[in-house]
Structure 1
Amino acid sequence: MNTAEPDCPQQWCTGGACDGARLDSLLTKEARWLWEQLAAKADRSGEPSMTGGTTVITAPAASTERAAVLGLLGSRILAPGERRRIRLEELTLRLRQHGDRLTPGAVAAHAAGRALGSAAAERARQLARTTRLRTLRARLADALPANARLRPSEEAWEELHRTGRVARLLQHPHPEQLLHTAAEVLRLLPPQGRVDRRLLAFTATGDPHGLDAGTDLAGLVLAEAAAAGLTTTGMPPRTAWGTLGIDLDRLGGGLLSLGVHPDGCHVPARFPLVLPPATLTEATWPAPPHANCWVFVTENPSVTTAALELPPSVPVRLLCTVGTPSATELDTVARLSDSGWSIAVRADFDASGIQHVRAVLRAVPRARPWRMNADDYVRSLHPAPFQSTALDTERLPETGWDPTLHTVMRAQGRPAYEEALLDGILDDIRHGRPRP
C-alpha cells in the first residue's frame, strides 16, 4: 500500500519510497536534466523504481547543471555532451542518504510530476488487447460456414496490421462488437450469386447504411477481402464489393420506374427505367387498364431490386424516389393520380422518411400511406442493431394519418427501415393493392 506523504499527492512513487525523504536538495532546477532522462528510461522500460542495472545519460552543456549531480554520479567531472553509463544500484545507495527507501525512479517521478512506466504499461495493454482481438477474429472465422465466400486467415492478420487496419480496430469504441458484426457480414456474403448491399447491411446490422462508404464496418470487411487476396487495396470500392457478390445501388438516380412508364415508352415489364427530370417534366401517363390499379411509391432502391425477383406473371408497378422526392417527382406522382392510378406511398421510419410521405400526401391528396402506422414501425425495429443511430426527434414531423406513430417513434428514439418490412411490401405488390 502506498503511504506517501502529502508531497506525493498523486502517488507517483510506489511502496512509499519518498516517505520522510529530503527531496528539496535533489529536485533543483540544475539537476532536473538527470531526472528527466531517468524518467524517459523508466517509461520505456516499464521499471518505475530504476534501482537495478545500468543506463546511459547524456551530460548537458551548462557547467552548473553538470556540477549539480556530481555527488550522485561520482567524483569524475562530466564533459559537455558526454554519454556516460551509470550503475543504478550505486545511484540508489547515494540517494538513500536522503531517504531510507528513496529510489532513482521515485526522485524522477517527483521531478516529472507523474507516475513512471506509462509508455511500457500502455504498450503492454495494447498488446493484450491486440491478442484478445486476434483470438476473437480467429474464433469467428472458424465459425463461418464451410462454403463462406471469404474466410479471414491467421496470415491475413499480419497484412491487416501492416496496412493500419488493426490500429484502427484498436481505436474503435467497441472493437469486439465490430469484429462480431464483420463476421456476420462475411457469413451473409452469397457463396454464389449476388445481393444488394443495403439488404446485406440491414440483415447484418439493422441499418441499411451500415456498410456505406466511410463506415468502420465497410472498411474492415473490404480490408479483410484485400488481405485475403480477393481484392486489392487500390481497387475502387464498387469493384471490390462486386467481387464479393455485392451490388451498390446500381439502379439509383432520378425517379426509378418499374412496370409503369410514360406514354410512348415501350420496355419489357421487368425493365427498370431511370426517368430524369427532363423526361418527367414532358411525360404524359397512360390511364390504368382497369379501376383501382395501384402504383406503389417507395424510397429505397433495395425495394426495387427485390421486386425484380417477383414472378413474371405479377404486374409490378413501382416508383422509387431514391431518397428525398423533388418537386418534379412529386408532380409526376400527382399526374399519375390524375390519370386514374391509385397511389400508395411509404418510406423509412425516420425524420426524412416521414417528411417524404407527408410531401407525397400533400401533392397527391388521394394517395394512401402504405404500411406506415405505429404497429408497422414497431415491427420494423431491429432486435439487435449494431450502433443504432439515434432518431432525430426534434426534426420528426407530425404524422397526421396516424398520430400514434409520432408518439411511439419519439418514445422509442430509434429509426426503422423499409428493408425490415420487405416481405410484406413484396406481398402487397404481388397482390396489386396495399395492405389496409
Structure 2
Amino acid sequence: MTSASEAVERYRGAEYERLFRAARRRLEKNGGSLDGPPVGVGNPDEAERKAIIGITGDYRDPGVKHMSVTLSELDAVVRAGTGLTLAALLETIGGPLRNRPREAARALAARGDALRPAKESPLYESAEWYREWLDEVSRDGTVSRLAGRSRTAGALARAARVLEFLEARTEGCLPVTLAELAAKITHHPKALDHPGTLSTLVLRALAMRAGVPAPGSAEERRDLWDRHEVVVDDLASRILVLNLPAEGEGLGEWLTGAARFGAPFQVTLHQLNTFPVVLRAPVVHVCENPAVLRRAAAELGPQCPPLVCTEGRPSTAFHRLAALAVEGGARLRYHGDFDWPGVDMAGVAARRHGAELWRMTAADYLAGLAHLGDLPEGDEHLRLSERAVPTPWDPALAEAMRERGSAVYEESVADSLLADLRG
C-alpha cells in the first residue's frame, strides 16, 4: 500500500510537472478557487498522457493534442492519495502559492494611500503642471514602486510639501540652500540630495513647472534648482563681471582691482555671502553669452562700462549681484538671445530687477536676422522649437519671432552691443 508521503513524492515526477504548473497559475490567479474551466497540457508526452488518464479515468489515444482536468477533480484525487488539498500539495512541492487578486487589491490600496496626500495638496486644484506630474508618475509605474516599499511609501507626500513651499515663494525672495530646504521639510539636510527618490520626484515636477525636459546631468539639476531659488552649491552659482568696482573688504577689493586692469572676474554666490559689498555704478549692462564680455574686455579693456554676463540662465549669484547694484542706484540694461528661453530670461530680469531691455525689440531682432542672411537648408540649431513666450515690453517681438521661426543669438549681434558700450 502506498503511503501518503510516497504519493507526495510520486507527484514530484516530471509527468505531473506541466499539469501542476498550470494548476498553480490558475489557483494563484483566482485566489485559490477550485471553480472554473479545466486546466490542461498541450501535446502531452506518453508519461503525461498516462498520468492524466490516471487522474481523470478517461482514456485518450496516443498522440492526443490536448488533455485537461478540472481543479476539483485534481483536488479530489490528490486528497485521496496524499491527504492533502491540491493547494497544500502544490505548496509542498513548489513553495507558497500567491494570491494575486489579494496582492492586486493591496497594491491598489497602497497606491491610493501614497497618492492621497499629494492629491489633497492645494496645488492639485491650482496648478496644471502639478496635476500633469502626478498623472505621469501614476502612469509610468513610479507610484506603484514607491507604494510597494515601506521606505519610500511617503515620498510623494514629502515631495508635495517641497513643491508647496517653493510655489508659495514670491519672485525676488531670498534663495534657500538645498540642505536648508531638505531640513525644513523632512528634518534631514541630505534628503534632497541626488540620486535620492525625493530629489528625483521634485525635479521631475519642477521641470514640468518650468516647461523643460527632466534634468539628466548635474549641471541641469543645479540649473533647475537655481531657477527656483534653491542653491545646490554656492561655489557653482556664479556671475562673470567686467569693470564693476565695489566697496568692501575682500570681494570689493578684488572687483575694484580687476576693474583697474579691465580683467574679467568670476564672482561666486559664496563670495557674495561671505564678503558684503556696495556697488555704486550708475549703469550696469548685462549680457547672456560670455563671448560678448570677452570681446568687450579685449576691445575696450578698462574703458568698458560695467558689464556682467549671466553665462546662460541667470543664477542666484546674478540675482544677488543685480539686487546689490539696484540698491546702490544702478540702472540695469539687459540683453540676451533672441530665442524663447532668452526672451523669457529677459522678462524675468525686467520684472524682478526693473531692468531695461537693451536692444531687445522686434526691430533689433529683424536687424539681426538680416545680418545673418538666408539660413542654410537644414540649419536646425537656429530654428525656434520651444513654446513661445510673450514679450510685453514689445509684443511685436514675439509676433516676429513666431512668424520668422529663427533664433538670433547674442554673438551675432555683438557689434551693435559693443558700439553701445563704446558710446
**What TM-score do you get using the length of structure 1 for normalisation?**
0.47
Considering Cα pairs closer than 8 Å and 6+ residues apart, tell me whether 1 or 2 has the greater RCO: 1
**What TM-score do you get using the length of structure 2 for normalisation?**
0.49
